[in-house]
Amino acid sequence: MTDQDAEDEEYAASHDGPGLGPAEEAEFEGLLTFLKESRGFDFTGYKRSSIRRRVARRMQQVEAATFAEYLDVLQVDTEEFTQLFNTVLINVTGFLRDPEAWDELAEQIVPQILAPKSRGESVRVWSAGCASGEEAYGLAMVFAEALGVEEFRARVKVYATDVDEDALAAARQATYSEKELQSLPDGWRERYFERSGSRWTFRSDLRRCVIFGRNDLVQDAPIGRLDLLVCRNTLMYLNAETQSRVLRRFHFALNTAGVLFLGKAEMLLSHGRLFLPVDLKRRFFRKADQVDPSGRGVGPIGRLQTTAARADVQLDDEALLFSPLATVVVTQDEVVATANRRAEAQLGITSREIGRRFTELELCHRIAGLRSSYEDVRRNRTSLWQHEAEFARSASETLYFDIQVVPLAGQHEEGTAVALFFTDVTRYRRMTGELQAAHRQVETAYEELQSTVEELETTNEELQSTVEELETTNEELQSTVEELETTNEELQSTNDELQSMNDEMRQRTSQLDRANDFLESVLGSLRTAVVVVDTELIVQAWNGRADDLWGLRSDEAVGQHLLNLDIGLATERLRPLVREVLHGDGPGDDPLRIDAINRRGRTVQLAIGVSPLVGRQSRPEGAIILMDQLGAASS
């Protein structure tokens, strides 16, 4: 991190987190509302910590102390909008980022997308948040490799969208430097790009298949009927509510066999009802409605089914959904595939638990013996009953279930899929307790029972608190991962800016060196002694002829006052002549002739002329003194 980045983080920290007061919070929200109403950019769905940090960076650069002051700057300076959006919309991208994920896309996912399609059937791909276009052109090259160039042009459309118009303009140019293409596999650059001077341009015939346009994922409608939707490292900038809204749109946009490809910082653990993982490590997901209710997956992309088969599956789904028994289905990979409405109402298994390992659910910890029963069924492949298992749904309510754990048909080397049926026997258990209490009618036994119930309630509350703390910790860790990824991309963006500044500085230094060499060559070639002074008569230049005349080197003379130089010239006679030139009176018509003693001790006669050194403001910024030796002076 550079010093500037550290200052930005320190400034952002002072306007973020617990230290942000109600007044500052109101000013910040007012700023976001102004951006939405005046420019159509809705940042209200972005994570507050991230958006505040980026705005704070611009505030520091324009020296605005508060959000209200920065709002005034935006209202006065329309150019500041562009600078702000370039800062907030971090356009860090590259060709085939995360090579392992792109290898799996090319080798596994794309062939499975193409397999069920008939010859000539179209393929639709959407790159959401495409930045400067590298990702969209990368997708085009992957499909071109899989189909061949001719079939790719006939069948594939790659839609690429972003909210940043400047980034889209750069993407439409499709021109990149050789350094930006280094991550491409061998041969891809020559096969898909054409050299244009020192840069490379994407082939124009393939470029027509890549369509760029502006789309705000938060506000605009999605592109539909997609086979592949790629949205990498974009969702991590949005808050949880906005993420859910965008993911529902993604779910609607995908075909039945469509695939969602996310960035490495995005997990979707809390959206199991919309998407199920194909490869969680590399962030490939499919629509959740492609999982068989029995727990057996239908493949990463899915197979073609007949209309009758789909109707049967839908009936099975409806029957499971409305079953009066709470039912949970676990795949052979020990991942929760589905749970019906009764399970959600009684056991609290929500969409957050779909896609998680069954043994990690709170349910396994809160029902004694359930985990061991589940593992016995998987190991022995035989049904097992657990009677009157106790489940504390809340601190004030405890339910009892007869649990049947059943292995599902089908043999798998990885394990056995399992269904768990929970029959609510709470009412019968309570009736039995009431009958026993009526028979006993013993105050002491009743007090002991009451004490036991209180202890159980205390224990349940402690367990509930512990589970909630663990859930909070998990969410904080996920948020931290996303923040670190955001910071990493911000640092990369800053490094790119510094690299560009360094290149420009080296170019200008080279130009300055050439100018200095040229000036030194010109002054050295003159046969007239040349001395240049500023308005304070401090020597700025001293050529070689002046060195020969007075025996004083350039490094000894430059920086000294002209009248203080120890040379054989009556410099006080130069003072009025130089002063007239500096005051703008102009040089005299005739040069000043004066006798002097050169470095060899000989008396010489000099013709001295003084000219103004005129700067950009057309005012004298110094004087040029020319000393031409006429010959030896007469005695």
| Residue type (1 letter), 577 | L
Residues 515-527: pLDDT tens digits? 888 887 777 777 7
Distance CA 566, CA 575 (A): 15
More confident residue, 632 or 77: 77
Whether the pLDDT of residue 321 is over 80: the answer is no
Model pLDDT, residue 586: 63
pLDDT tens-digit map of 532-546: 988 888 988 888 888
- Stretch 598-610: mean pLDDT: 85
Please report the pLDDT score of residue 40 as a whole number.
67
**pTM of the predicted model, to two decimals?**
0.48
pLDDT at 294 over 60: no
Given pLDDT bands bounded at 50, 70 and 90, which one contains residue 75?
confident
Specify whether the CB–CB gap between 156 and 123 falls below 8 A: yes
Residue 552 pLDDT level (bands cut at 50, 70, 90): confident
Residues 6 or more apart whose Cβ sits within 8 Å of residue 509: none
Q: Picking from 5-19, 35-49, 367-381, 592-606, which range would have the lowest pLDDT averaged per residue? A: 5-19
Q: What is the mean pLDDT of residues 436-442?
A: 81
* Whether pLDDT at 425 is above 60: yes
CA 423/CA 119 separation, integer angstroms: 51
Q: Per-residue pLDDT averaged across 297-313, rounded?
A: 41
Cα radius of gyration rounded to whole Å, the chain: 40
pLDDT for residue 199: 93
Whether residue 8 is predicted with pLDDT greater than 60 in this model: the reply is: no
pLDDT number for residue 9: 41
Kindly report, residue by residue over 329-358, the tens digit of the pLDDT.
888 888 888 888 888 888 888 767 777 888
Say how many residues make up the chain. Answer: 635
Per-residue pLDDT band at 315 (split at 50, 70, 90): low
- Write out pLDDT tens, residues 350-373: 767 777 888 888 888 889 999 999
The residues facing 604 across adjacent strands are: 596, 632
User: Which SS3 state, helix, strand or coil, does residue 404 take?
Assistant: strand
- Beta bridge partners, 213, equal 161
Helix, strand, coil percentages for the chain (3-state, nearest 5): 50, 20, 30
- What does the DSSP 8-state code read for residue 92? -
Output the CA–CA distances (angstroms, integers) from residue 234 to 127, 172, 279, 482, 547, in the order listed. 11, 20, 19, 10, 67
Q: Judge whether residue 269 has pLDDT over 60.
A: no
Residue-averaged pLDDT of the chain: 81
> Which residue type occupies 197?
G
Q: Are 406 and 383 in contact, with CB atoms under 8 Å apart?
A: yes
What local confidence, expressed as pLDDT, does residue 313 receive?
A: 46
Q: What is the 3-state secondary structure (H, E, C) of 489-547?
A: HHHHHHHHHHHHHHHHHHHHHHHHHHHHHHHHHHHHHCCCEEEEEECCCEEEEECHHHH
Helix (H) / strand (E) containing 77: none
Quick check: 258 and 275 in contact, CB under 8 A?
no
Instruction: Compute the Cα dihedral for 464, 470, 473, 474 and give only its sign.
Output: negative
The 10s digit of each residue's pLDDT in 204-261 is 999 999 999 988 888 888 888 899 999 987 877 777 788 888 888 898 889 888 999 9
Residue 562 Cα to chain centre, angstroms: 60
- Count of C-beta atoms within a 10 Å radius of residue 109: 23
pLDDT band at 599 (very low <50, low <70, confident <90, very high): confident
569 with 596: CB under 8 angstroms?
yes
DSSP conformation letters of 339-374 = E-HHHHHHH---TTTTTSBGGGSHHHHHSTTHHHHH
| Cβ–Cβ < 8 Å for 209, 107 | no
Report whether 360 contacts 470 (CB < 8 A).
no
pLDDT over 60 (residue 634):
no
Q: Report whether pLDDT(138) > 80.
A: yes
341-355 as b/e: b if 16+ CB within 10 A? ebbeebbbbeeebbb
Q: For the chain, give the percent of residues with pLDDT over 70.
A: 86
Contact indicator for 573, 594 with CB cutoff of 8 Å = yes
Give the pLDDT score at 81.
74
pLDDT of residue 437 exceeding 90, the answer is: no
Q: What is the pLDDT of residue 111?
A: 94
Phi, psi for 335 (deg, rounded to 5): -105, 135
Give the closest residue to 136 by CA, choosing from 101, 93, 107.
93
Distance, CA of 251 to chain centre: 23
156: helix, strand or coil: strand
460-511 pLDDT per residue, tens = 888 988 898 898 899 899 989 988 988 898 899 889 889 999 999 999 998 8
Residue 88, pLDDT above cutoff 50: yes
The interaxial angle of helices 48-62 and 22-39, nearest 10 deg, is 90
Predicted local confidence at residue 421, as pLDDT: 93
pLDDT digits (tens, 9 = 90+) for 161-207: 988 888 888 899 999 998 999 989 999 999 999 998 889 999 999 99
296/345: higher pLDDT: 345
**Segment among 81-85, 431-435, 526-530, 561-565 with least mean pLDDT:** 81-85
| pLDDT higher than 70, residue 612 | yes
| Closest by CA position to 494, among listed 172, 39, 61 | 61
Compute, in degrees rounded to 10, the torsion defined by CA atoms 206, 122, 233, 2.
0
Gap between the Cα atoms of 297 and 291, Å rounded: 5
